[in-house]
Chains A and B, each alone.
Chain A
Amino acid sequence: MSVRLQAEAFDPGALLGEFSAGHAKVGGIVSFTGLVRADQGEGTVLELEAYPGFTEGEIARMAEAAKARWSLADYLVVHRVGQITPGEAVVFVATAAAHRREAFEAADHLMDYLKSRAPFWKKEHGPGGAKWIEPTDRDLSDAARWE
């Protein structure tokens, strides 16, 4: 059970390998890697700000609730902070459960939470200047599926 924020790039394959190594007895492991899309064309950089300590605490609270709801054996959330360029991985979520359905749903749920309500503040630096980004309507409706 771990929630990590880091400024450094990560290797999703290495994270999945590390996470899977300790779980010989679970039935399924699901992982999701989110990349920064280049929606606004070249030269756009995403800046993610977190509140160190508070942000991990809030994500862990949500992950613990998911663990209880879907009887997870384990989870791992790794999220980048700072400046991230398009094509780079920004988030990694892995869940381990006795059965695949629980692992899929818990990972899906955690990603919807992370994309819509987790304590991050997101700024896009593009050729036309910088602007703060709100969750999209799709992020919000995806998150509302679980309520």
Chain B
Amino acid sequence: MARVLLFGPLRDVAGWRERSFDPPPASLSALRALLSAEDPRLGEALTGKGVQIAVDQALVRGDVPIGPGAEVAFLPPMSGG
């Protein structure tokens, strides 16, 4: 199982904040493809300018595998407090 978290404006686009995927998609690109197929607007928002991705709370770049128990977070541009 993998948990997917959305923050800021992304959760308004998707209409959800957290979901579990069991079995988890094999990679970040597979996860994006899955979410995009379900909800093209969300798919587009996830690849928007400045959206960063954290896997297990560490920022990642490019495509990475998603292991069982992973936590994947999509982080739109941060606004500061």
> Which of A48, A54, A80 is most buried by chain B, counting CB atoms within 10 A of its CB?
A54
Bound form: Cα–Cα A87–B4 in Å:
35
A51-B73, A53-B57, A54-B73 given as contacts; is B78 within 8 A of A118 (CB)?
yes
A-B contact count (CB 8 A): 56
Contact residue among A79, A90, A133 (Cβ-Cβ distance under 8 Å from B79): A133
Contacts of A116 in B (CB 8 A): 80
* Size of interface on B: residues with Cβ below 8 Å to A: 15
How far does the Cβ of B65 sit from chain A's closest Cβ, in whole Å? 20
Is B75 part of the binding interface, using a Cβ–Cβ cutoff of 8 Å? Answer: yes
The residue of chain B having its C-beta at the shortest distance from the C-beta of A77 within the complex is B81
Is A120 part of the binding interface, using a Cβ–Cβ cutoff of 8 Å? Answer: yes
Query: What per-residue 1/0 map shows which CB atoms of B9-49 lie under 8 Å from chain A?
Result: 10010000000000000000000000000000000000000
A-B contacts, 9 of them at CB < 8 A, read A51-B5, A51-B7, A114-B81, A115-B80, A119-B78, A120-B78, A121-B76, A122-B80, A123-B8
